[in-house]
Structure 1
């Protein structure tokens, strides 16, 4: 169980790191004026929109813009907290991970329902969004688990409560 937990933590660490970078630089372009961003970031988002045919990013329906605001104001700070908690073995990581996972999964249900229901999405676009749903479920499940005294955090540190007292 300890090895599996460390693998899940490593996957989530990389995911939270990705969100910490991508949300303010790329996703924020959906709801903030493009004049706030350098041209190379705008070009990356334009390339993505064209390459994957992401009509949600291109058309900016109101529900999608609202979900991006949710990501920027709620999920992005939680991803930063999760990174900090993982690196410093904070005991509240399970709680913030659970909150993040439930929020992401809820958002992804709305997005994936639109993509599959509209019949506009290509398989390539669905394969871009579907992993986020899986990662939301993974974060939720990770938030429901507790660290045992043997496993500690993702990076092998044991929490202060788990250390044995010396006589």
Structure 2
């Protein structure tokens, strides 16, 4: 189980890093004023749209604008917290991984649903988005299956100490 945990942690950190960088630098360009971004970042987004033929980023539909706002306000801070929490071995990282995984998987379900329904997505574009759906599943499992305190070291709850016989 240790190897699987290490791989899951590596996947969570890698994808959280890409989200932490891409959300404010590329995705946010669709919802924030262009004057906030220097020309090289605007060129990077144009290159990405052309290289991957990402029709959603070229002309984002209304639902995708909502997804970008969700990423900026919720997923971006969670991704930063995931990177720190997993690398520092914090217990709360399981909770942030679970939240980030659910958020990412939900967003990817909407985006991949639109891509498959429209028939406009090319295989190269799908190969870019599908790993994020897989990351969502891995992050959820990492959050649910993380190690918890063993019963011998756990702090007793008030209910369990109330049941003890008083002498």
TM-score class normalised by the smaller sequence: 0.7 to 0.9
Aligned to 1:131: 131
Q: 1:148: Cα distance to partner?
A: 6.3
1:86 and 1:14 mapped to 2: Cα distance? Answer: 11
Query: Unpaired runs of 5+ in structure 1?
Result: 150-160, 163-167
Which aligned pairs between 1:20-99 and structure 2 lie closer than 5 A?
A: 20-99=20-99
Q: Aligned partners of 1:18 and 1:59: how far apart in 2?
A: 22
**Gaps in structure 2 of 5+ consecutive residues:** 155-167
Alpha-carbon distance, 1:116 to partner: 0.4
111-120 or 84-93: bigger deviation: 84-93
The residue number in structure 2 matching 1:9 is 9
Normalised TM-score (structure 1): 0.86
Does structure 1 retain, via aligned residues, the 8 Å contact 2:15–2:132?
Answer: no
Distance 1:63 1:147 in 2: 36
Please give the per-residue CA displacement for 1:23-77, whole angstroms capped at 9, x wherever unaligned: 1111111111111101111111101101111111011110001001000100001
Aligned to 1:154: none
How many corresponding residue pairs? Answer: 152
Equivalent in the alignment of 2:158: none
- Aligned-pair CA distance for 1:123: 0.9
Larger CA Rg, structure 1 vs 2? 2
CA RMSD across the alignment: 1.7
SS of equivalent residue, structure 2 residue 72: helix
CA distance in 2, matches of 1:128, 1:21: 16
**What stretches of structure 1 move > 3 A for 4+ residues in a row?**
none
Q: Secondary structure at the match of 1:7?
A: helix
